Chain A
Amino acid sequence: MNPLIKIFISLVITAVIILGISIPTVHGAQGFFQFPFIPGLEEKARNIFFHVPMAWTSVLAFFMALYYGIQYLRTKNQDYDLRSVSSAGLGLMFCILATVTGSIWAKFNWGSFWNWDPRETSIFILLLIYGAYFVLRSAVEDDEKRATLSSVYSIMAGVTVPFFIFVMPRIMSGLHPGSLGDEQGKGPVLELKMSPNMLAIFFVSLIGFTMLYYWMYSLRIRTARVEKQLQTIE
């Protein structure tokens, strides 16, 4: 990867961290360097720059894993399996990060670390699915068989995920924005209602995390390929 891109990613993430944490929230905010005071959220609103991009990145990584799984079944090319498992591993990591940040946010906004809100249930299932995915992979010795079985499992899991992410949180009432009865959070996933400067930092963070994912993914895929070649040499 181009070193300039790496430097750019580092700068973007650093900027998000510094700006997201240091800009003060004030009543009647004006200009770029002041966040509006949101009743109920207050200083905790900063978490949106980290929690949401993490969740987004993990969903993206899982979709990439699913996509490469399908590609593997079509072509039987082992390289697609490497891509699939690299992406799934990163997805799981970002998913854990999103769970942890979300859980801390829940503690201070809703009162406890875990409330079995529909959205919390769905991320818990996502963790279970990909936990099971790696258990399945470790249970099969043969490379080709492992690739096929895990691709099939990720497809079967992939078709149930929409029930959790899009159906259940909307028909059940809950605490997370976007639940049933939440007038402000309607929309495909969430309708964004933020002040312009928060929105700007939010999108920069989204781009930063997506690029970070891509960087980590390309690192992982290259090491996986080298490991594979070492195995064949031995």
Chain B
Amino acid sequence: MFVVTTLSMVMFSLGSNTVPYEILSGMLWIVIFFSAMSGLSRTFVTEEERGTSLTLRLLTKAANVYIGKLIYNTVLITSLSVFIALLYQLVIDDFQIQTQSIFWMTILLGSIGLAAASTILAAIIAKANTKGTLFPVLAFPILLPLLLECIKTTVLAVEGAFFVEAIKDFQILISFIIVMIAASLMVFEFVWND
């Protein structure tokens, strides 16, 4: 529902104007970012509210909980962004992808990166007092390198660049994901068992 709302907002604001594809690529990631934020911030809050986190803490190790949440978030965000990407291409005529492989690789890596960084932040949020508003504030600076890279490769995909040209950017995305997951695994225990 959130996706439909934002997409229709984008369409209304565009009207019948033609907009350069750089801006359209940026807007696609704005839509994905905020849809992801609204869904991901609830990851651990629901556990705390329903009181199930205590049981989880008793039953299993912190790393298992983290990996489970990470996989769930990744699946959630990937399906969400694929849905957004398809819808976006359908409803916005000016946004034509020339190199499909770069585009879908970006969507995939971008979603994994979003999930990787947000899982640990969602765990932090669940312990803080003001839950809703804090999440985007904390997430934005950490996710910005990811978003900038994603926008860059999306522009490449629209321009019709070859897959080889985007490999350097994908390497940065992959290293970002690895660094995020490794650091989260190390510190998650402290947040979880607190």
Residues of A within 8 A of B (CB): 73, 125, 128-129, 132, 135-136, 139-141, 144-145, 148-149, 151-153, 155-157, 159-160, 163-164, 167-168, 171
Contacts A128-B140, A157-B142 given; does A145 touch B134 at CB 8 Å: no
Q: Specify the main secondary structure of chain B where it touches its partner.
A: helix
Closest-by-CB residue of B relative to A130 is: B141
* A152 interface neighbour in B134, B144, B148, B191, Cβ under 8 Å: B191
Residues of A close to B124: CB separation below 8 A: 136, 149, 152-153
Complex Cα distance, B91 from A169, in Å, reads 36
- Are B141 and A149 in contact, with the CB atoms below 8 A? no
A-B contact count (CB 8 A): 79
Q: A128-B140, A136-B124 are in contact. Are A149 and B191 (CB under 8 A)?
A: yes
Known: A140-B128, A163-B172. A145 touches B194 (CB 8 A): yes
Give per-residue flags for B157-194: 1 if the beta carbon is below 8 A from chain A beta carbons, else 0.
00000000000100010001001100110110011001
Given that A132-B137, A156-B187, A159-B180 are contacting pairs, would A139 and B145 also be in contact in the complex, using a CB cutoff of 8 Å? no
Contact of B128 among A128, A139, A155 (CB under 8 A): A139
Tell me the B residues contacting A by CB distance below 8 Å. 117, 120-121, 124, 127-130, 134, 137-138, 140-142, 144-145, 148, 168, 172, 176, 179-180, 183-184, 186-187, 190-191, 194
Chain B positions within 8 Å of A159 at CB level: 179-180, 183
4 smallest CB-CB distances across A and B, nearest first, come from: A128-B141, A163-B145, A129-B141, A139-B128
Question: Are A132 and B141 within 8 A (Cβ)?
Answer: yes
A interface: dominant SS: helix
A163–B176 CA distance with the chains assembled, in angstroms: 8
Q: How far is the CB of B117 from chain A (nearest CB, A)?
A: 8
Q: CB distance B168 to A153 under 8 Å?
A: no
What are 5 inter-chain pairs, A to B, with CB distance below 8 A? A73-B187, A129-B141, A149-B128, A149-B191, A159-B180
- Tell me, rounded to whole Å, the shortest Cβ–Cβ distance linking A181 to chain B: 16
| Residues in A neighbouring B134, C-beta threshold 8 A | 135-136, 139
Kindly state the separation between the CA atoms of A129 and B134 in the bound complex, as whole angstroms: 13
CA A132 to CA B179, docked complex, whole Å: 21
CB distance from B146 to the nearest CB of A (A): 9
Say whether, besides A136-B124, A145-B127, A152 and B138 are in contact (CB < 8 Å). no
CB of B141 within 8 A of CB of A125, answer: yes
Q: B172 — which chain A residues lie within 8 A by C-beta?
A: 163, 167
- B120–A152 CB distance below 8 A: yes
Beyond A144-B194, A160-B142, A167-B145, 7 additional pairs, beta carbon < 8 A: A129-B141, A129-B142, A135-B134, A152-B191, A153-B124, A159-B180, A171-B168
Q: Which residues of A contact B179 (CB under 8 A)?
A: 159-160
A168 / chain B contacts, CB cutoff of 8 Å: 145, 148
